[in-house]
Amino acid sequence: MSSLETYKRKRRFNVTPEPKPKKKHSEEGRLFVVQKHQARNLHYDLRLETEGVLKSWAVPKGPSLDPTLKRLAMAVEDHPLDYFDFEGVIPEGEYGGGTVMVWDYGTYTPENESDVIRALNQGELKFALRGRKLKGSWVLVRTRDRQWLLIKHRDQYASADSITDSAYKSALSGRTMVEIAAQNGGDETKAASADAKPGQDLQLKPRDKRTRKGRGTGPKV
Ligand code: MN
């Protein structure tokens, strides 16, 4: 559990709904999750299960299916496996305060090296994703220190479509960021900016107005 000390140190578990580390590993052993996280800045957290933790990267622009686009991915502290299905609101003022969505999840398979930790130590991990949204072959390449690039390989799942725009709802609950914020006492205005696509203001849609009235009455996830 020693690699989770940073995770534990940064959080007050009597304040944040985020999980305390408990589980040692999943049945599959190779889960992945991408969490959309509207903290100070919107980003997508890619997490890969290995050796009983979720190795994690913050990807400011989110994953792209376009093999010509290299997405910056900053390595962040290991997260506990319990974080895999965390969707909700981290209170403002806490570390990472803001709305969190399970944007995609599934399993992955390492491709260049079966020992994932060794591949990461060597600065390059090729892997195949079997998610609800993300599929096919990808690579994480370290450029320096904690800075990595996340790149889609050319295969049948490569595409010029912006999947973060076209598939913007939760893979776990089908909810938007506004709906997750509304149902968990979060900042709906801030969350709305995370749902908006370029040139679109989702706050004007009737569906979101209805959501606002339902504050605090929805199911907790
Ligand atoms: Mn984050």
Per-residue pLDDT tens digits for 93-124: 999 999 999 999 999 999 998 899 999 999 99
**Residue 8 Cα to ligand 1 middle (Å):** 15
- What pLDDT is stored for residue 200 in this prediction? 52
pLDDT at 216 over 90: no
**Residue 46 Cα to ligand 1 middle (Å):** 9
Q: How far is CA 72 from the centre of its chain?
A: 14
- CA-to-CA distance for 221 and 211, rounded, in angstroms? 16
- What pLDDT is stored for residue 199 in this prediction? 54
Q: Are 158 and 136 in contact (CB under 8 A)?
A: yes
Burial 91-101 (b: 16+ CB within 10 A, else e): beebebbbbbb
Confidence of residue 23 (pLDDT cuts 50, 70, 90): confident
Distances from the Cα of 32 to the Cα of 83, 107, 151, angstroms: 11, 5, 16
pLDDT at 152 over 50: yes
**Residue 96 Cα to ligand 1 middle (Å):** 6
**Residue 188 Cα to ligand 1 middle (Å):** 18
Residue-averaged pLDDT of the chain: 90
Which amino acid would we find at residue 15? V
**Residue 176 Cα to ligand 1 middle (Å):** 17
Report which secondary-structure segment, H or E, holds 125: strand 124-131
Please give the torsion angle defined by the CA atoms of residues 98, 95, 69 and 117, in that order, rounded to the nearest 10 degrees: -130
**Residue 172 Cα to ligand 1 middle (Å):** 17
Least confident of 13-17, 19-23, 66-70: 19-23
